[in-house]
Structure 1
């Protein structure tokens, strides 16, 4: 078996970044410490996600965002997929609608994690209640 060099691993991780549009922290560490397993895992991702098949890349990104939201992945992981989707031309509204699909099946807690990740990436802000709302306001 051929042992990979640090240069081989660096080239591989750079190519992953070019193809995917991101690399995760575990990719970086695995490239240095268990390169063959990283390659095997990446081959699976290639077959299921990166290689062109029936679904286009935008659709796959939306599915990834929803599945990561439902699985309650780390905010950074969800945000990395949101950024790739935006780079591919998916609109912030389309991404939000995809995240909202998690509500009925995964619940509010899962939705909120995906929603918070989305808000930070797209810079979404909400409305705040007026002072009158806290004073009882004028009921009509």
Structure 2
């Protein structure tokens, strides 16, 4: 990451390197640039810098960890978009999100799933009208 002293240049470089910037990055650049730089240094070391894991693997891990932590849908979506840009398929991303089910539960999964659904434009099947008629309603 650049060591630019200019907050605008720093945000521009973040966008180039990450493929996204979050709203809090933009506000911190203006109001507490030093803390943004410190926090971004940690992100660079753990996530952006090339080490043993490639960027695709890290992106999938990030999507799952954000899902498990119940991050905002927009935050999860920013990483889904980066994953797609890296060549990760929608199915691979969905399978990664599904890993959250056994450990974090349905509620956490649904947040990640909804983020994925919106980004990739996935739709579902509607039950036939007959499915609602004449049944006992019990599963």
Cross-structure match for 1:60: 58
- The answer as to 2:41 corresponding to 1:47 is no
Q: Distance in 2 between matches of 1:60 and 1:130?
A: 41
- The answer as to 2:12 corresponding to 1:19 is no
- For residue 105 of structure 1, report the CA deviation from its aligned partner: 0.2
Q: Gapped runs of 5+ residues in structure 1?
A: none
Q: Distance in 2 between matches of 1:84 and 1:136?
A: 47
Cross-structure match for 1:77: 75
Cross-structure match for 2:112: 114
TM-score by length of 1: 0.92
Q: Distance in 2 between matches of 1:79 and 1:47?
A: 22
- For residue 126 of structure 1, report the CA deviation from its aligned partner: 0.4
Q: Distance in 1 between matches of 2:114 and 2:69?
A: 15
RMSD: 0.9
Q: Distance in 1 between matches of 2:49 and 2:131?
A: 53
Q: When the two structures are aligned, how many residues end up with a matched partner?
A: 131
Spell out structure 1 runs of 4+ moving beyond 2 A: none
Q: Gapped runs of 5+ residues in structure 2?
A: none
TM-score by length of 2: 0.92
